[in-house]
Structure 1
Amino acid sequence: MTDAAPELLIPDWPAPACVRAVISTRSGGVSRPPFDSLNLGEHVGDDPAAVAENRRRLAAAARLPAAPVWLDQVHGTRVLDCARAGESSGESPGESREADAGITGQPGQVCVVMTADCLPLLLCNRAGSRVAAVHAGWRGLADGVIEAALAGFDDSAEQLLAWLGPAIGPDAFEVGPEVRERFLQDDPQADHAFRPGRPGHWLADIYQLARLRLRRAGVGFIGGGDYCTVTDSRRFYSYRRDGVTGRMASLIWIE
């Protein structure tokens, strides 16, 4: 068991002081290979006791005010209102829910998404009264998970801030022509996010695809988007690179 503290990333964005956000890396946990070391996913085949210890370490390092509302992510567009999580069933707010985004306006409640190549997107309003965490793989992105999350804010889009966390980079995300066509059907400008790869394939920039949608919606600030989970094996898990691997977490809450 390592005694090293979890290595966390802090978004560089002009969020209000009351909005806190952190992104975990793969460092500082107790999981053994191939999940080494700070795997936070319970669904990937890791030792449950190791995952529990990793989540405890994350909570301590990030000084989380409560257990995160962990989601069962399905590459869809459902947005969970974390403030109501478990109310109807009496279950603990810390238990998983099937959704690909969590949103809350309740101070002390932690929204979280897990990723290992897909794009984690954090949102808040300039008033610091509402925050969201979004899991945006290409399917969810194409189907409108960002737009669904933005709809959970009462503010005008200009009053919203977005930060794009660690995801597969534009030199590593090879897709088939059907993926490109799916985005072009919705927005011809998406063509700028693709460039030819090996014959019959395209290299896609998931950061650019997300920015296009955020700009089209009128979001006032868009930051982040300068990572690659595939090439940075020291800091990040990557499903595309390793297949069997752990998961990072992107968390946001209001103090």
Structure 2
Amino acid sequence: MGILIPDASLPTVTGLPWCGVNYFCTTREGGVSGAPWTALNVGLHTGDDAGHVLANRRLLRAGLPNEPLWLDQVHGAQVLDADNHLKQQQLSGQCVPPSADAAITTQRNRVLAVMTADCLPVVIASADGSALGVAHAGWRGLAAGVLEQTLHALRSRVPGGTPWRAWVGPAISQRHFEVGADVFQAFVTHDPHSAVFFAEKIPGQKWLADLPAMARRRLYQAGVSSIELSGYCSYSQSELFYSYRRAACTGRMVTVAWLSQ
């Protein structure tokens, strides 16, 4: 189970301490949004009042070294080089959120962010705290290789042989994640062993999928030596987390991470 820590006025979920890295996932507590987005909704695309969402983002920003780099998440495997993007943004003056489902950085105090409400938020960092990535991995992104692509991008920035660690944050648990044959086939076609992460509910039609366990396997296969699962379920722990499966009209948590000084 992950660690629930009050961060200023905002309760947050995090994992074990990492060298040179700060990271956490917000809960739904501590914000200003009303039902059904109660209370710390940070998603501008959810139908919530934009003023409330921006107020919630300001509450979040108060505990961070810089403004988070918000992404336009599209359930894919595109990885953004945040350092290069922000250089280009300064030159162009444009501030439109880039379309990507992961981002990497090697710059201190550059805050990366991914929003979730059942999908997996994954933080990946070098063991020495010199490189950092965050990824939004729903079943589509996970099957498309967003975690592997994030690691590939990170490895291009650091010396070979660097050990890696990962934290998989709050997400929907297997008990509540019913999927059809399309999802089952998307994984087992790539890796037949993935079938062990699907509990058959209706023979040949419906399964219960274990996304966190599949993420752990893919991270391990990609060379990540230390992997921690938070153990929190976004669907069942309704007092703490938003869940799109539980209620389509809902808010978003955000997982943020940055390299410390």
Tell me the CA shift for residue 38 of structure 1.
0.1
Could you tell me whether the CA contact under 8 Å between 1:159 and 1:220 is conserved in 2?
yes
Aligned residues with identical type, % of pairs? 43
Deviation per CA, 1:76-106: give whole Å up to 9, x if none. 1111111122433535697511000011000
Among 163, 174, 177, the alignment partner of 2:178 is 174
* Residue identity opposite 1:26 in structure 2: R
Residue type at the aligned position of 1:223:
E
- Contact 2:22–2:259 (8 Å) recurs in 1: yes
CA RMSD of aligned residues (A): 1.7
Aligned residue number for residue 68 of structure 1:
68
Take 1:30 and 1:58, find their aligned partners in 2: how far apart are those partners? 12
Name 2:214's counterpart in structure 1. Answer: 209
Residue in structure 1 matched with residue 5 of structure 2 by the alignment: none
Moved more, 199-208 or 109-118: 199-208
Q: What is the 5 A alignment of 1:105-124? A: 105-124=106-125
What is the CA–CA distance in structure 2 between the aligned matches of 1:197 and 1:105, rounded to whole Å? Answer: 44
- Pick which of 188-197 and 112-121 moved more: 188-197
Please say if 1:191 is aligned against 2:195: yes
Q: CA deviation at 1:190?
A: 0.3
Structure 2: gaps of 5 or more residues: 1-7
Unaligned runs of 5+ in 1: none
How many residue pairs get aligned? The number is: 248
- Of 85-94 and 162-171, deviating more is 85-94
Secondary structure at 1:35 match in 2: coil
Amino acid at match of 2:150: A
Kept in 1, the 8 Å contact 2:126–2:162? The answer is: no
CA contact (8 A) 2:15 2:230 kept: no
CA drift at 1:158? 6.3
Report 1:96-111 matches (<5 A).
96-111=97-112
